[in-house]
Amino acid sequence: MKRNIIWALLLSPLFAFAQGEWNQKFEQLGTTLPTANTFRTASGAPGRDYWQQQADYKIVAELNDDNQSLTGRETITYFNNSPDQLSYLWLQLDQNMRSKSSDTPLITPNEMTSTMTGRDIQKVTQDYDFDGGFKISEVSDAAGQPLKHIINKTMMRVDLPKPLASGEQVTFNVAWSYNIQDRMELGGRSGYEYFPKDGNYLYTIAQWFPRMAVYDDVEGWQHKQFLGRGEFALEFGNYNVKLTVPSDFIVASTGTLQNENEVLTKTQRERFALAKKTYDKPVIIVTEAEARKAEASKAKGKKTWEYQAEDVRDFAFAASRKFIWDAQAVKLDTKTPLAMSYYPKEGNPLWEIESTKAVANTLKTYSKRTIEYPYPVAISVHSASIGMEYPMICFNYGRPEEDGSYTEAKRAGMIGVIIHEVGHNFFPMIINSDERQWSWMDEGLNSFVQSLAEKEHYPTKHRKRGDPYMMVDYMKGDKEGMRPIMTNSEQLLQFGNNAYGKPAAALSILRETIMGPELFDYAFKTYSERWAFKRPSPADFFRTMEDASAVDLDWFWKGWFYTTDHVDLSLSKVKWYKMDVPENEIENKAKKSKKAKISSGEQNQNLMDFASEAEIFSYLTVEEAAISSRQAEFRNKINDQDVQSANADRNFYELTFENKGGLVMPIILEWTYEDGSKEREYLPAEIWKKNENVVTKVFAKNKKVTNIVVDPNQETADVATENNVFPRVENNSRFDNFMNDGE
């Protein structure tokens, strides 16, 4: 009976609380991750039976500048590389988010306030005079015969006349049109910007054609509805696209221009050819003077621009008669892609100076950190109030004042967004994660590499994300306003912090503090190479980082990615000990006082401080230890006189650390000694394995310690630096200057 009572006590919540809660922070992720199989291995690499679908597109479309609409027709060839038989196909109709029947306004919370702007009221009433969404006019087979289909909001199911067997392909057609929205009024990732002073439009066009949904071994069909935030899951394929626009328009696009003789002047072609072999600075292909002339004359004819793109997961373009265009070649290890920028005169002089240079710098850094950039071009397009990415092309903000002036903050912000959006070519345009489900797999990884590119090419530029200290305010915030990183895109709170900042800071800590640059860089590059032009899941990333480094990181993924815990390691207690050395017991040793003084002990007596005198411990000889512990067999292992002699003058410091934030991390210590010298020490996170809440460790030092600091360079995003120091000080400002540097 007594035994049962003891077991009940041990298992009771009260006992667990008294002993310190054990949350299994160091247990392996195990069944949290999907079971490895022949498609995706336990190492994080694609398995021997890995497969993915392919979708090729031939598209003919026209952009109507008179009424801001687009009409198109596409032929899709879909390759079923899966082991499954498919009786229907799903296509994404993302423009339907703007249709009258969209769920997006219905699921968007809003509130009344004491003052309401016209835009605020429109968000409530949805009283927009805009007819959005795709108008599907045809879905037919290769012979032009109608195919049965059904539209469910932003998804369309096409029913096949007969099931598509594994290894087979099917070709079908879709015709559509839609009205392009005023992006400055209605928002969105694409649309148009109107310039009232010259009466022209600048179009940034994306999600503009019905696109195949993903079918894979993880989700089956990824046909989660598009509500606006969660981005896109797409299949790789080859594109041939013919775009008809006004004859004085310049078109920037995914892919390689196929008919430059038909759409560019002789002078422009010569400049374009020169740009392909110019590495030191951009070559202007369409000048500002030519762009100003075009926007004033407004030609009435039409031209068709033809582009070809291979092995891309999407296709986007921009078009305007306002475009200035420049380009330069970028020398990589084996390839020389073109970095290019398209911008209206309103972007100058800033864009002519900085944009293409930023594109080139991005390609250089990302190619080193991941894989060599495989595409022929990388394009930055300027339009106001946007930052959005597509294969080989992105749309970016950063507009000077009307007089051409700009602040350093404007310049830094523009460079940052260009690096970020061009960087998305790698995550997720090449390393093709599912954005609809996991925003952090593209935004977080990309923000991390962005910070490396900025440090390499713009070391004095203010950075927004990447360094751990930048996340302190968020991490110590109200947990009710947070979600774990491993949360679906549509359910995230504080989207920028959660999907961008926190994963980027986590990877920075992983690289700089936990793994070290050499191990991290190799593992990160291995992940990029393994999953280039494939579709990785979170488990593939987690497993590869461990597989290629031999570092057990399950505790790290669990804490940073699966919880909202924060880092708050407290140095809660320090005890100072010296050995009791009796007079004349050790040869050539001066008489030792049983108490030792330390100068700092006389200061800050009312705060946490070193004791004014060291505590004394007695040395237990081998004989004494053997008698008490019955371990006489070890008598000949230790020479007591040598040990006593070696440690007679040593200072022993017993440090007690508390994990107040819940997130276990390495303990980084900086010791300051009486002579002013400093020493750094690193304790791996595994020191918390036996007790996740409190740990005590003794350090032997030859010199007296006057100060101890935990995480002196703020490497771990610790939210409470005031409890990281010993002795305590009333107003701990050791990071004040660091935090206000701008870096």
* Contacts of 133 by beta carbon, 8 Å cutoff, 6+ apart: 93, 95, 96, 97, 98, 99, 100, 101, 102, 178
Residue 496 lies in a domain: yes
For residues 680 and 670, give the distance between their C-alpha atoms in angstroms, rounded to a whole number: 4
Residue 10 lies in a domain: no
Same domain, 457 and 314: no
* Contacts of 458 by beta carbon, 8 Å cutoff, 6+ apart: 361, 412, 415
The tokens 């705060």 sit on which residue?
607
Residue range 307-324: mean pLDDT, rounded: 98
Which amino acid type is present at position 353? I
For residues 625 and 77, give the distance between their C-alpha atoms in angstroms, rounded to a whole number: 81
pLDDT tens digits for range 443-499:
999 999 999 999 999 999 989 899 999 999 999 999 999 999 999 989 999 999 999
Identify which of 271, 260, 251 has the alpha carbon closest to the alpha carbon of residue 321. 251
Buried b (16+ CB within 10 A) or exposed e, 382-403: bbbebbbbbbbbbbbbbbbeee
Answer yes or no: is pLDDT of 237 > 80: yes
End position of a domain, from candidates 374, 407, 437: 437
pLDDT tens digits for range 681-731:
999 999 999 999 999 999 999 999 999 999 999 999 999 999 999 998 755
pLDDT tens digits for range 372-391:
999 999 999 999 999 999 99
How many domains, the chain? Answer: 3
Neighbours of 211 (CB within 10 A): 24
The pairs formed by 682-690 with CB atoms below 8 angstroms and a separation of 24 or more are: 685/514, 685/555, 685/556, 686/26, 686/555, 688/25, 688/26, 688/659, 688/664, 689/26
Same domain, 473 and 378: no
pLDDT value of residue 590 = 38
Residue range 404-413: mean pLDDT, rounded: 97
Domain that holds residue 687: 569-739
pLDDT value of residue 580 = 86
pLDDT value of residue 10 = 36
The tokens 């598209």 sit on which residue?
59
Predicted TM-score (pTM) of this structure: 0.91
Same domain, 103 and 224: yes
Same domain, 319 and 447: no
Residue range 266-275: mean pLDDT, rounded: 98
The model's confidence at residue 42, banded by pLDDT at 50, 70 and 90, is very high
End position of a domain, from candidates 437, 461, 494: 437
Q: Using the 8-state DSSP alphabet, how is residue 476 labeled?
A: T
Give the distance between the most distant pair of CA atoms in the chain: 107
pLDDT value of residue 619 = 79
Strands (E), 551-601: 569-579
The answer to whether residues 222 and 87 touch, using CB atoms and an 8 Å cutoff, is no
End position of a domain, from candidates 515, 546, 565: 565
Strands (E), 235-354: 237-246, 250-253, 256-257, 283-286, 302-312, 317-320, 324-329, 338-343
Same domain, 415 and 522: no
Answer yes or no: is pLDDT of 592 > 50: no
Same domain, 543 and 688: no
Residue 112 lies in a domain: yes
Residue 479 lies in a domain: yes
For residues 698 and 223, give the distance between their C-alpha atoms in angstroms, rounded to a whole number: 56
Residue 160 lies in a domain: yes
CA atoms within 13 A on the CB side of 633: 0
- Which class for 217: exposed (0-12), middle (13-18), buried (19 or more C-beta within 10 A)? buried
Answer yes or no: is pLDDT of 622 > 70: no
pLDDT value of residue 387 = 96
Same domain, 433 and 445: no
pLDDT tens digits for range 1-21:
444 433 333 333 333 333 445
pLDDT value of residue 634 = 53
The tokens 């598509």 sit on which residue?
164
Neighbours of 194 (CB within 10 A): 14
For residues 94 and 231, give the distance between their C-alpha atoms in angstroms, rounded to a whole number: 10
- Looking up residue 29, the CATH number of its domain turns out to be 1.10.390
